[in-house]
């Protein structure tokens, strides 16, 4: 079975963006899928935005073009608003947000903490 997924993980420095990316990548590799990753740190040490790209399947380059991501995992709502344009119309987003985010472009799931 051929699996191809393009996933964006975004958040602020210190939230675990790179850890989540590594965890998902290693899980896919343990199942014998090809994996490519790339990340942009920016001002991560100062709480700036961090974005990582995870491609599972037969891809030649690690970056994901706008409108091509199958999924976005936003560890902070602010980063969803920065990177939502990367998700394709029938993709989905998981957003760490206390409020519901409306979108008619794609499905999303909002996580609420205590």
Q: What is the pTM of this model?
A: 0.83
The β-bridge relationship of strands 49-56 and 35-40 is antiparallel
Task: Identify the H or E element spanning 96.
Answer: strand 87-96
Segment 46-72, tens digit of pLDDT: 678 899 999 999 999 989 999 999 999
Q: Note the pLDDT of residue 77.
A: 84
Task: Identify the H or E element spanning 94.
Answer: strand 87-96
Segment 5-27, tens digit of pLDDT: 999 999 998 889 999 999 999 99
Topology of domain 5-111, per CATH? Pyruvate-ferredoxin Oxidoreductase; domain 3 (3.40.920)
Q: Please name which of 50, 51, 70, 84 lies closest in space to residue 7, comparing C-alpha atoms.
A: 70
Give residue limits of the domains in the chain. Answer: 5-111
């Amino acid at each position: 079975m051929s699996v191809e997924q393009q996933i964006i993980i975004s958040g602020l420095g210190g939230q675990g963006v790179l850890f989540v990316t590594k965890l998902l990548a290693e899980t896919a590799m343990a199942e014998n899928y090809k994996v490519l990753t790339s990340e942009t740190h920016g001002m991560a040490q100062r709480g700036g935005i961090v974005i990582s790209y995870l491609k599972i399947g037969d891809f030649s380059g690690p970056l994901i073009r706008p409108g091509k991501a199958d999924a976005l995992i936003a560890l902070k709502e602010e980063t969803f608003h920065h990177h939502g344009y990367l998700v394709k119309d029938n993709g989905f987003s998981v957003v760490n947000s206390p409020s519901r985010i409306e979108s008619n472009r794609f499905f999303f799931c909002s996580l609420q903490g205590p």
